[in-house]
A and B are shown apart, each in its own frame.
Chain A
Amino acid sequence: MIPFDFIYYRPDSLNEAAEVCQSLYVKGKSAVYYSGGSEVITMCRAGNIRPDAVIDIKHIPECMPLSVDGQHLNIGSVCTLNQIKESNLFPLLRLACGRIADHTNQCRITLGGNLCGSIIYREASLPLLISDAQVTLFGPEGKRTVSFQSVFQGRIQLKQGEFIVQVHIPTWALSARYAHIKKTAHEKIDYPLVSLAAIWKDGNLRIAFSGICSYPFRSGEIESVLNDRTKPCKERAGQAVDLLPEPAYSDAKDSGEYRAFVLKNTLQALLEEWENGKI
């Protein structure tokens, strides 16, 4: 049971959603955009958030597409992880979505919800960070389409009242070589110790990480080290771990030292598979 009341809005258009959010903001009311809702409901029930209103954007047509149009795969923000999996239009994203939560929850969790979530892992961001993806956002100031990597600094940087409409993935990424690895401590369905997505463009490895730090990231420095094929795989993997943007993440379950150990071994195995032509 959610032990307080909120107003529920279900807009039919982008403008309606942004306008209602802005009108609430002007009145000093708090509002959250809502799509799959699993995190919003959980946080409301636990008392972590207490919004005056939720704005359910699942009925906005522009947030729904899941199709290839010319040069891009367009995925609406309210597409569920399961819809993305079933479509199999972007195999790397399919694998990433397939390892978030469990299957039933994948039928509810949306791409936009995972990208905007407060839980630190946001694993659906990884394929987008390395595939030159763009994202269309909408808010009180209108629509803007920007590079996903430029607007995702650990979490997506939204202006007041903005929400994700679609992500756009260039078609080269849909057929590129890729790898996805998620390591968990015990159960298959769990938050990651280390989760990584890799894609190859023009023979170069691009790679993004979740779990190892307190936010998902892609690092040019790490990619440079990993792509230096004059050095042994083990050495490159070790150097990459030394270049993390912050100390490896520690929590009650797993130490940073252990996560770094797992990352090093995972990277070494990935590089060896690449060297041996298995990817």
Chain B
Amino acid sequence: MVRYENKVVISLDINGETQTLAVRPADLLLDVLREQLGLTAAKPGCLNGDCGACTVMVDGWPAKSCLMLAVEAEGRSILTVEGLGGTAAVQKAFVEANAFQCGYCTSGFLMVCHALKTQHPSMPEECVVEEWLQSNLCRCTSYREIRKAVQIIYQQNMP
């Protein structure tokens, strides 16, 4: 049985690299990503699991990193926007569709869309896309453009 108290050293698989970190058991994955690793793409928003700005991918599925303990991420594969490398299909599609205004929510939407394409390599039904995108909020209301970016990813069959 694992038992962690006070500061503990753990290893996490983040963006394909093993990172060794000293964390408190109560530390949130979001805070560890941003403050210990400098991976600031995941954004603190509501911190309540509502807005999706902090979304990352965990084992291929979207997860709100404000609602996950860092110690829970042991043995899991974490992907953040930094791990997309800047030239991923989803990032190109967002640029092509101008799918952002202030950009604060963009990282979260990128990860949701990347996870969607990962889990549904072929274009899923409209209701599935809508369901996935409803997990995130854009206060600039770029929803139409974000939806267009998803279409671009599938129409151009971007990997």
Contact = CB atoms under 8 A, between A and B. Distances in A.
Interface of A: 1-2, 4-12, 16, 20, 37-38, 41-42, 44-45, 54, 56, 58, 82, 98, 101-105, 107-108, 188-189
B8 to A, nearest CB: 8
B26 A107 contact: no
Given A42-B49, A103-B135, A2 B67 contact: no
Given A41-B67, A107-B63, A20 B6 contact: no
A2 B31 CA distance: 10
B134 A189 contact: yes
A5 B112 contact: no
Contact of A107 (B27, B61, B72): B61
A104 B64 contact: yes
Interface of B: 1-6, 24-28, 31, 47-49, 52, 55, 61-64, 66-69, 71-72, 112, 131-132, 134-136
B4 A37 contact: no
Contacts of B5: 5, 7-8
B contact face: mostly helix, strand, loop, or mixed: mixed
Contacts of A45: 47
B1 A104 contact: no
A8 B4 contact: yes
A145 B94 CA distance: 51
Contact of A2 (B26, B52, B62, B64): B26
Given A20-B1, A38-B67, A5 B25 contact: yes
Q: Ordered nearest first, which 3 A-B pairs have the shortest CB separation?
A: A8-B25, A104-B135, A10-B2
A75 B107 CA distance: 34
